[in-house]
Amino acid sequence: MALALRCLRPVPSLLLRSSFAMARGLPRAPRGCPAPLLEGCRQCVQQMLLSRQLATKKAKGKGQSQAKVNISAALVEDIINLEETNEDMQAVIKALKEDFSRNLNVRTSPGALDHITVMTKDGKFPLNQLGQISQKSPQLLIVNMTSFPESTAAAAKAIRESGMNLNPEVDGTVIRVPVPKVTREHRESLAKLAKQFTNKSKEALRKVRSKSITQVKKFKSKVSEDTIWLLEKQIQQMADEAATEMDKLLAAKTKELLG
């Protein structure tokens, strides 16, 4: 055992703990392996551990819920950065939360227009950088475009196409934005918009998942089929969890809007 521990020293710490737990059942190094397994062949140990995970998963039997895949990022860092994939998925969720917060309030405030992006001849700019936004009454917002009068028409168009159910009226360099009354119809309109935002975010989530799986498949000729299968399963699992969180956000927002 002392000799085995000394041989395992070159293996990374996370891999060492997993290998030590099953040390008594370690297989012989496969043919063609440049070094014996206990002398630090990282690829062999990695493949063995992933294969063990797959075997354990299949051993649960038919009719039972499948075990959750949880591959150590350190074991597959040469194939894909799972932490980065997770961060990309969480960024999509964060963007959905921001869309809900900015665009789906029953009561519209001046700050609700800040994020609207206006396309001008000089590029894209937030509305609050081009005009002064104020609230004249509970049912009327004013956007003063005196500083950038040439962008007045573009700003009005951006407000109209923001998806906030607003119909701005241009009066010189002033844009009047009537705020819809809080009717049942308006609430239902916002709830539909929440669904649209969620579907758009799920599409972005699918793109993250597809990109990651494509990255994994590039290594088909270099690692085992079990490794590829497990990684694809892990990525799909992460995407499913993110989609579930989006559904919960949608349900909560819909309940808030419809009462």
Q: Please give the Cα distance from 111 to 134 (Å, whole number).
A: 9
**pLDDT at residue 158 in the model:** 93
In a domain, 14, yes or no: no
Q: Which residues contact 41 (CB under 8 A, 6 or more apart)?
A: 29, 33, 34, 35
Encode pLDDT of 171-209 as tens digits: 999 999 998 777 888 889 889 999 999 999 999 999 999
Encode pLDDT of 61-116 as tens digits: 444 455 677 777 777 778 889 999 999 999 999 999 988 887 787 666 677 788 78
In a domain, 12, yes or no: no
Question: Which band of pLDDT confidence, cut at 50, 70 and 90, is reported for residue 259?
Answer: confident
Question: Is the pLDDT assigned to residue 59 strictly greater than 60?
Answer: no
Considering the domain architecture, whether residues 194 and 251 belong to the same structural domain is answered as: yes
Question: Which of residues 178, 196, 217 is at a domain's end?
Answer: 178
In a domain, 232, yes or no: yes
Considering the domain architecture, whether residues 213 and 173 belong to the same structural domain is answered as: no
In a domain, 24, yes or no: no
Q: Burial level of 64, CB count in 10 A (0-12/13-18/19+)?
A: exposed
In a domain, 100, yes or no: yes
In a domain, 56, yes or no: no
Q: Please give the Cα distance from 107 to 141 (Å, whole number).
A: 12
What is the domain range of residue 99?
Answer: 73-104+183-258
pLDDT, average across residues 222-233? 90
Radius of gyration, alpha carbons of the chain: 27
Considering the domain architecture, whether residues 165 and 213 belong to the same structural domain is answered as: no
Q: Which residues of 145-155 are buried (b: 16+ CB within 10 A; e: fewer)?
A: beebeebbebb
Structure-token pair, residue 148: 């950038």
Contact 110, 133 (CB under 8 A): yes
Q: Please give the Cα distance from 245 to 209 (Å, whole number).
A: 16
Considering the domain architecture, whether residues 156 and 247 belong to the same structural domain is answered as: no
Considering the domain architecture, whether residues 199 and 246 belong to the same structural domain is answered as: yes
Q: Strands across the sheet with 140-144, in order?
A: 132-137, 140-144, 174-178, 169-171
- For 71, phi then psi, to 5°, come to -80, 135
Q: Helices 42-58 and 225-258 sit at what angle, rounded to 10 degrees? A: 60
Structure-token pair, residue 132: 């002064």
Q: Which residues contact 26 (CB under 8 A, 6 or more apart)?
A: 19, 37, 38, 48
Question: Is the pLDDT assigned to residue 245 strictly greater than 70?
Answer: yes
In a domain, 52, yes or no: no
Question: Which of residues 146, 178, 210 is at a domain's end?
Answer: 178
Considering the domain architecture, whether residues 89 and 209 belong to the same structural domain is answered as: yes
**pLDDT at residue 35 in the model:** 44
The model scores a pTM over 0.95: no
**pLDDT at residue 67 in the model:** 66
Q: What is the CATH number of the domain that holds 129?
A: 3.30.1360.40
Contact 29, 60 (CB under 8 A): no
Q: Burial level of 142, CB count in 10 A (0-12/13-18/19+)?
A: middle
- For 141, phi then psi, to 5°, come to -110, 145
**pLDDT at residue 206 in the model:** 97
Considering the domain architecture, whether residues 219 and 94 belong to the same structural domain is answered as: yes
Q: What is the CATH number of the domain that holds 248?
A: 1.10.132.20
Considering the domain architecture, whether residues 190 and 254 belong to the same structural domain is answered as: yes
Q: Please give the Cα distance from 5 to 40 (Å, whole number).
A: 11
Encode pLDDT of 11-40 as tens digits: 444 444 444 444 434 444 444 444 444 344
Considering the domain architecture, whether residues 141 and 82 belong to the same structural domain is answered as: no
Question: Which of residues 121, 151, 178 is at a domain's end?
Answer: 178
What is the average pLDDT score of the chain? 78
Considering the domain architecture, whether residues 100 and 189 belong to the same structural domain is answered as: yes
- For 162, phi then psi, to 5°, come to -75, -15
Considering the domain architecture, whether residues 187 and 168 belong to the same structural domain is answered as: no
**pLDDT at residue 25 in the model:** 41
Considering the domain architecture, whether residues 117 and 92 belong to the same structural domain is answered as: no
In a domain, 252, yes or no: yes
Number of domains present in the structure of the chain: 2
